[in-house]
Structure 1
Amino acid sequence: MPSILWTLLVAAATAVVTALATGLFVTPRMEARKKRLGDVHATRDTFSANMTRIISACGLLQKVQLPADDEPGWTPVMRERLAGERERWWQQLDDATRWLIDNVAAYAGSWPTSHLIQFAVDYAGNARMVVLSEREEATKLELLLALTVPVQRQFFGWPWSRARHVLADHRAFAETVARISGEPAAS
């Protein structure tokens, strides 16, 4: 009988010590890791959402132009409303590129290779500079789309699509960056 009692006592003490050690040392580290990983994924999701917002706003601004002053059927109120919508879309571009540049360290550093990190950093800087530039509206929209589409595909496209387009996307991005900076494109 004493040997059974001793075995039960040792088992209970071992369980208590194990539970205590796990609760004090392992669980807090696992919870901190879970939070960090959740933050990384949330930041990546916001990176993707901002690129989608840029593509959408550029498409709308390209498609929906202000009508000519002598265009029949357009009242001053409708012209003003359309101008307000276009201004709102430009504000979305400004907000999205501002977020990209302000948070580049958070999302770019979450990828495993220096090539992807540099790709994200270059994208954020160039997209913001295009929005801030004094280029014509149509040129800004064209450049933003040319920058954003290949980057979005490389970071968030389907794996087969990324692999299939990796060289073309990087070449298109490099050509657009060269065009922005006024350098001749490398052949």
Structure 2
Amino acid sequence: MNIVWTIAVAAVTAVVTATAAGLTVTPRLDARTKRIGEAHAARDAFNTHLTTVLMASARLRNVQLPAADDPTCTPVVRERLAAERERWLRQIDEATQWMNDHVATFAGGWPSQRLIDFAVAYCGHARMLMLSEREEAAKLELLGDLTLPVQRQFFGFWWTRARHFHADHALFAETVTRLTAPSAGA
């Protein structure tokens, strides 16, 4: 009889414990898992958009539109190149827009206020640069100087982050100064 009673109490205790955990603890853990997953997905998207900005900027700097009187370039090719360059500019525009709109999603979870501020500052400055009336070449140069240190510090290998930490923050600060200087123009 004692064995049956012990087994019955153990079974009832297990069912009650499992039910209580299933109703209270499990939903909170599931919600936490979802939030963590969304934060990591947003950080991955941030990295993708940083890479898009870097690569599209590099393509725009390297593929210049031939002169209108260039005999080696037909009007059709010139039109196609112009359309492709416009597409690359749209990619940069869309990437900076997404980063600026979603900065709270991916930046808020970093472990230090310095990293959070770095991401927020980058997103704001990159977006404002794209909205500015600067010449395309100046925009691309400034955008590269803003983006490379951020991409390296957030997504580079740890030894790259450590080796370039001070230089990246100095380059970023210098670029922000160039962006916000009164003589820089809009």
TM-score normalised per structure 1? 0.95
Secondary structure of the corresponding residue to residue 141 of structure 1: helix
Please name the residue that 1:13 is paired with.
12
Please name the residue that 2:148 is paired with.
149
| Aligned-residue offset at 1:99 | 0.6
In 2: Cα distance, 1:94 partner to 1:183 partner: 24
Please name the residue that 1:46 is paired with.
45
Please name the residue that 1:118 is paired with.
117
Q: Deviations over 1:73-95 (max 9, x none)?
A: 21111111110000000000110
In 2: Cα distance, 1:104 partner to 1:41 partner: 13
Please name the residue that 2:105 is paired with.
106
Q: What amino acid does structure 2 have at the position aligned with 1:100?
A: M
1:1-187 to structure 2, matched below 5 A, reads 2-182=1-181
Q: What amino acid does structure 1 have at the position aligned with 2:102?
A: N
The share of aligned pairs that are identical, in percent, is 60
In 2: Cα distance, 1:81 partner to 1:73 partner: 14
Q: What amino acid does structure 1 have at the position aligned with 2:15?
A: V
Q: Deviations over 1:146-170 (max 9, x none)?
A: 0000001111111111111111100
How many aligned positions are there?
183
In 1: Cα distance, 2:66 partner to 2:105 partner: 42
TM-score normalised per structure 2? 0.96
In 2: Cα distance, 1:108 partner to 1:99 partner: 13
In 2: Cα distance, 1:7 partner to 1:100 partner: 60
| Aligned-residue offset at 1:183 | 6.4
- Structure 2: which 5+ residue stretches go unaligned? none
Q: Deviations over 1:45-91 (max 9, x none)?
A: 01100000000100000000100112122111111111000000000
In 2: Cα distance, 1:159 partner to 1:183 partner: 36
- Structure 1: which 5+ residue stretches go unaligned? none
In 1: Cα distance, 2:65 partner to 2:14 partner: 74
Quote the RMSD (CA, aligned, Å).
1.1
Secondary structure of the corresponding residue to residue 16 of structure 1: helix
In 1: Cα distance, 2:31 partner to 2:100 partner: 27
Question: Which stretches of structure 1, 4 residues or more, deviate above 4 A after TM superposition?
Answer: none
